[in-house]
Structure 1
Amino acid sequence: MTKIRVLLLGILVGAFFYYPNNAFAHTGLESSNPAANQTVESTQTVELNFATKIEAGGTLRVYQADDSTPLQGTVSQENQNLKLESDRPLTPGSYRVDWKIVGTDGHPIEDTYTFVVASKKQESASAKDTTADSQKKEDGKQEATFENETARTADDGESSSFLIAGILLILVVYFFYRIVLKGRKR
């Protein structure tokens, strides 16, 4: 009888340490347009794509340089995307993007990054830089990174199925013990 209890305890402890790795990971920013530290031509749209689906109510604010007033526009959210459509094209200068979301696991996540909108003079000079950057990307030497990048998770469906399978396994072992093994003693 003690061996069975030790075995059940071992299964429970093993499941406890295995399944949280998949089920409780946070979503993270997968990509953005414009990307962090990127220099772009004038645009009206800032779009963020996350690794997993995000809950409704995310915020996306874009500020010019050191201005404390966010740009005016329409924010939309769908599945894994959060998008700001500005009321007018962004003028040349530096911009700060502040975003905050809640992942499907219920944890709030927020971050900030910057990008630059080039002036006409900078665009012609940056065209040469873009060619050099493209060459670096082809060589695999340059990768876009995000400051304070949050942890990424596997697909939500995959994590949920592992958690459900683990719970079912624990229930089957428990009922097997209670019904079959306890029933033999009576």
Structure 2
Amino acid sequence: MKKFITAIAAILFTFSINTFAFAHSHIGETVPANGEVVTESLTELVLNFEEAIEQGSIMELYTSNGEKIELGEVVIADKQLIGKLVNPLANDEYKVDWTIISADGHPLEGSYSFTMNVAEEPVVEEVTTPSDETAVTEEVASNEEQLDSQETSEKEESSSVVWIVVGIIAIILILSIVVLSRRKK
């Protein structure tokens, strides 16, 4: 009986370690948003994550031709990675590369892009027609669907791994019970 309890404790301990290993911090909202066309000058880039991130996390900004833009300071604030801009960004497409260290110690990386399109002359206010609003609403809905499908696939992948681990633990537990019962006979 002592061996049986020890085996169960070992299995539960192994399972708890595996569950903790899947607690990575995934990226959430970014400012500016992925694919956004920014029409006003920016002072910082903000990346929000689902979980806390650790020191050593980095962010880099590149122009459309691969030129690196130096950030004044990169601040790590709990679940945020904030890059302060030294100078206003010129009209161009930009790519943000990030590498973070999750609270569980695992490094994660990714990138997203946005476009700067700041008017150089005073902007004349335009009358928005319902069709323009519909197009913007459809674009926002499309972006949200892409983020939701990405999050769903990440959760499904993590969930399937957990079920595989549970299955393996169940097989080990059943084999342990069979072996222990045969030894008693």
TM bracket (short chain): 0.5 to 0.7
Partner of 2:33: 35
Matches within 5 A, 1:88-127: 88-120=87-119
TM superposition shift of 1:16: 2.3
TM superposition shift of 1:9: 1.4
TM superposition shift of 1:137: 7.5
- Cα deviations across residues 81-127 of structure 1 (Å, max 9, x unaligned)? 11112112222110000111111111111111111112439x989x7
Q: Does 1:21 align with 2:23?
A: no
Residue 64 of structure 1 contacts residue 71 of structure 1 at CA under 8 Å; is this kept in 2?
no
Higher relative contact order (CA 8 A, sep 6+): 1
TM superposition shift of 1:52: 0.9
Matches within 5 A, 1:24-173: 24-42=22-40, 43-120=42-119, 131-132=133-134, 135-136=137-138, 142-143=143-144, 145=147
> Aligned partners of 2:70 and 2:58: how far apart in 1?
13
Aligned residues: 146
Give the letter for the 2:60 counterpart. Answer: R
Name the CA shift for 1:115/1:79 in 2 (closer, same or farther; >3 Å).
same
TM superposition shift of 1:7: 4.0
Give the letter for the 2:102 counterpart. Answer: G
SS of 1:54 mapped into structure 2: coil
- Cα deviations across residues 55-101 of structure 1 (Å, max 9, x unaligned)? 11211111111233223422211111111121122221100001111
Name the CA shift for 1:134/1:53 in 2 (closer, same or farther; >3 Å).
same
Name the CA shift for 1:84/1:35 in 2 (closer, same or farther; >3 Å).
same
**Runs (5+) with no aligned partner, structure 2:** 156-185
Residue 26 of structure 1 contacts residue 151 of structure 1 at CA under 8 Å; is this kept in 2?
no
Give the letter for the 2:133 counterpart. Answer: T
Residue 26 of structure 1 contacts residue 103 of structure 1 at CA under 8 Å; is this kept in 2?
yes
RMSD: 3.4
Q: Does 1:12 align with 2:14?
A: no
Name the CA shift for 1:74/1:23 in 2 (closer, same or farther; >3 Å).
same
> Aligned partners of 2:132 and 2:112: how far apart in 1?
20
TM superposition shift of 1:19: 5.2
Identity of aligned residues (%): 23
Partner of 2:170: none
Give the letter for the 1:36 counterpart. Answer: N
